[in-house]
Amino acid sequence: MYTTLEATVKNGRVVPVEAGRLPKTGKALIVLLTETANKPGKCLWKTVRKSLGWLKPAVDAATWQREMRNEWERRS
């Protein structure tokens, strides 16, 4: 199982945001992010908000599931 945790690097040492989440022993793969990667600009969020409409399904999931179950029940 993989665990993801947030941490900062201070004076060359990894300091977790939630100290209780670190195990006593184990292996780690560390990916260092730049400060700008953690704080996207306002213009990026405007672009994201414009695209969110594409994530809305055209059909209600509960209605679709009900219709599919009715089809399968008619087949048996």
CA–CA separation, 29 vs 4, rounded Å? 10
pLDDT value of position 50? 76
Backbone angles phi, psi at 45, to 5 degrees: -65, -35
Predicted pLDDT of residue 56: 75
User: Residue 14 is encoded by which pair of tokens?
Assistant: 């990894």
Q: Specify the pLDDT at position 75.
A: 80
Q: Print pLDDT tens along the chain (76 aa).
A: 677 888 888 898 888 888 777 778 888 888 888 766 545 566 677 777 777 777 777 888 999 999 999 998 888 6
